[in-house]
Amino acid sequence: MPTVSTVLEDGSLVEMLYRPEEHRTVFCVFKDGTWREENTIVAGGQRLVPYSPNNNLLKNNVVLLPSTPREFGSEDELLAEIQSYLHRYLDVSPLFEKIAAYYVLLSWVYDAFNELPYLRARGDYGSGKTRFLLVIGSICYKPIFASGASTVSPIFRILDVFRGTLILDEGDFHASDEKAEIVKILNNGNAKGFPVLRSEVLRSGEFDPRAYHVYGPKIVASRGFFEDRALESRFLSESMGQHRMRKDVPINLPDDQKAEALELRNKLLLFRFRARPHQRIVPNLIDESIEPRFNQVFTPLLSIIQNAQTREELLEMARRYDRESLTDRSQDVEAQVLTIIHDMLHSGEQRLPLQAIASWFVDRYGDDYERKVTPRWIGWVIRRRLDLTTHKSDGVFVIPLSEEPKLKRLWERYGIGTEEPQLIETSAETNNNSHPVPGTGGTSGIQNP
């Protein structure tokens, strides 16, 4: 069985080495602080062999591997060497330079975590995005340079086989269906256990669904933002081309860069061998003031960072992302409807029919919409977009008392108001259990304390 990396039953870590000058691939096996080279390994009744040195992905530098483990001293010394390499060839902000250096370390032990963030360069053409991908990507764990792919199809297979770091320029894929496939990889690839299913055609002509594992670190270049906000929240982004490039950064990468990257990959291989068994999430790094999804993607990187100041800088970055996300959501129709409900409760209204909510909405936000705002549409937003249940009371639809906890969470999530209005349910509401058909309109009411 051709194999790139694996963990044996006795805990040994196995990584494939590639030495093009010797036209050779070989396994490096690490156990109990020592390593050895093996041409084949027998494990679980199978004979594992490294991929051939004639493999096109290796020969054409689509996938980069280390050639041998190298001593690196302390982790601080290794981190300083990585940051020096990045600074020499890349012009990014000082904070992002630190983040990128730690992300490189994270990529080499990523399989110890269940969720990961992505790294991204965002900017127009000529802003340095390709340099960003090449310089950082070359020292990540088993980097897979997918930008040369003519279609997305081989990317699924390469990720599944090599389980490395995907280096991707989103702009290289122009067709809408290709971009949809890229988004599928990015949506499924930041957490374990979410393979992408694709149908393969057998020789018999039958379709055989197959699961492709796409979990792993990813470094992406894009010109703009992704429409999916959940996907956007997974990126640690740097805006490129905001100023003139530093004069000490070479316009063209010298040949030395490839040799430096290989030397760093060799040192990072030994880092993986030593650090991988001990890596885990540090629970006390979770910041309860920000949303769980931001904690989910930032905490693995924070768990790698030992420097307290850098940790705090990254935490502040997470808080800024959280604030920006809150600002974006505040412009949504859902947030606007929730604001209306909140303000009506504080205005002294005793009954809030859907007609009144729609009227308030038109007065405050009507000019922002080309479509006609109707009670029917507002009812659809309340039930389908906010997932709030309504039922009939005294001939009007109301939000029942059982929805109070959900409303409070929604107000908190959308950053609406500082007070929490209490809902009061009348006996008529309690006695009437009829429910409306979604989207049929009608009136809605809610009791104000």
Q: What are the start-end ranges of the E strands in 151-234? A: 165-169, 196-201, 207-212, 218-222
**Mean per-residue pLDDT for 48-77?**
95
Q: Other C-beta atoms within 10 Å of 151: how many? A: 11
CA end-to-end span of the chain: 70
pLDDT at 350 over 70: no
Which of the residue ranges 43-52, 126-135, 382-391 would you say has the lowest mean pLDDT? 382-391
Tens-digit pLDDT profile for residues 289-318: 777 777 888 899 889 888 888 888 888 888
Angle 374-377-382 from CA coordinates, rounded to 5°: 125
Question: Percent of the chain having pLDDT more than 70?
Answer: 88
| 194-227 residue pLDDT tens | 998 887 777 777 777 889 999 999 999 988 888 7
Distances (CA, A) of 365 to 67, 235, 243, 270, 371: 62, 32, 38, 59, 12
Q: What is residue 30's predicted lDDT score, i.e. its pLDDT?
A: 97
Q: Please give the structure tokens belonging to residue 288.
A: 């309860």
Short-list 237, 51, 216, CA closest to 144: 216
Residue 231 has what pLDDT?
85
Dihedral of the alpha carbons of 179, 177, 333, 353, in degrees to the nearest 10: -150
- Give the position of tokens 């010394």: 77
- Sequence-separated (6 or more) residues with CB below 8 Å from residue 161: 4
CA distance 119 to 107: 11
The chain-wide mean pLDDT, for the chain, equals 84
Token pair, residue 236, equals 């640690």
218: left (phi over 0), alpha (psi -120 to 50) or beta: beta
Q: Where are the beta strands (DSSP E) in 116-244?
A: 118-122, 143-145, 165-169, 196-201, 207-212, 218-222, 235-239
Closest CA to 228 of 151, 328, 334, 119: 328
- Greater confidence (385 vs 434) lies with 385
C-alpha closest to that of 161 among 218, 214, 217: 214
